[in-house]
Amino acid sequence: QQALPNVVILATGGTIAGAGASAVNSATYAAAKVGVEKLIAGLPELSKIANVRGEQVFQVASESLTNDNLLTLAKRVSALSKQADVDGIVITHGTDTLEETAFFLTLTVHTSKPIIVVGSMRPGTALSADGALNLYDAVSVAGSKDAAGKGVLVTMNDNIDSGRDVSKNVNIKTSAFSSQWGPLGMVVEGKNYWFRAPVKRHTMNSEFDIDAINALPPVEIAMGYEGVSSIAIDAFAKSGVKAIIHGGTGNGSVANRIVPNLQKARSDGVIVIRSSRVADGFVIRNAEQPDDKYDWVVAHDLRPQKARILAMVALTKTSDTKELQRIFWEY
Ligand SMILES: NC(=O)CC[C@H](N)C(=O)O
């Protein structure tokens, strides 16, 4: 229909495409089973709010996605966003790493058209399945003009969150996704209600462009905890990683016995990025560790898995630690 927006659904798998043996299987089921055509056919309400078509990009549980998958998906989103007959794009995705893909897309796809990443916590076969409404909301937001220019968004549980800020914070409830900075708005019965806008650089305003990125450098994460050894850090450094994200305790603190190992990694050319395993808050430069002296970078408010995404993207352009720190403040 002419008056309706054209929305493309890129399906990648996850619970939103999951199926269980019975309606009471809300947690025991197989992810990534239902194809995109069936997802669309199962939600006839979509045809009232958009001209929807689907593409099956992958059919996987999101914990198994690779860097190559990220590149493939982002390049497809970028190509579609340049088409005059596409007004918005929805990506259906497993929830386990949804926040990583959403952040990657918001850093690298140059468009102001709405891009929405969506998943569900229960398979479509379960009682009170959440996928249908989440997908309806995603298509609705993707087709609305007021969602343009806000970066990649996530619609889960009636909220509209920033793809940069949002994380999976509960692993078993439909209220799984939230951000310490709050949602940008809510979507109710096909209408968007906005309350805030992102201030970090994204999409049109990003210096990174997926059309120019063909490979991502290896970046690994080492956790901090009582009794931590240097085994992981030494192995990562030896393997040739370009950066190590240290998911430290508290304010990004680092056990004194592994500081020399991280210093050695840095002097061998590995970028060291301090983040925190604590869900909320942020890491302050030169607090806990002398970052200036050691030539380390801090991850601002990004959790280790989000810091890894930004590090990979940033390292496609620079390995200068001052530049990397600027990037971590700005994105
Ligand atoms: N709720 C989910 O989507 C989790 C299913 C699966 N582990 C995934 O991330 O794809």
Residue type, 208: F
Question: Measuring CA to CA, how many Å separate 36 from each of 44, 62, 134, 171, 276?
Answer: 13, 16, 15, 24, 37
Ligand 1 pocket: which of 96, 169, 171, 174 to mutate (most atoms within 8 A of CB): 96
List, for the chain, all residue ranges whose pLDDT scores fall below the cut of 70. none
Q: How far apart are CA 278 and CA 106, in angstroms?
A: 23
Active site residue 95: yes
Residue in 12, 92, 95, 97 annotated catalytic: 95
321 an active-site residue?
no
Query: What is the predicted pLDDT for the residue at 193?
Result: 98
Give residue 257's pLDDT. 98
Atom nearest to 63 CA in ligand 1: 9
- The torsion angles phi and psi of 253, rounded to 5 degrees, stand at -70, 155
For 106-132, write each residue's pLDDT tens digit. 999 999 999 999 999 999 999 999 999
Residue 79 tokens read as 């190509």
φ, ψ dihedrals at 256, nearest 5°: -55, -30
pLDDT of residue 2: 74
**pLDDT 10s digits, 275-311:** 999 999 999 999 999 999 999 999 999 999 999 999 9
Q: What is the reported pLDDT for 153?
A: 99
The interface pTM score, or ipTM, of the predicted complex is 0.97
**Residues within 6 Å of ligand 1 by CB:** 13-15, 31, 61-63, 94-96, 119, 121
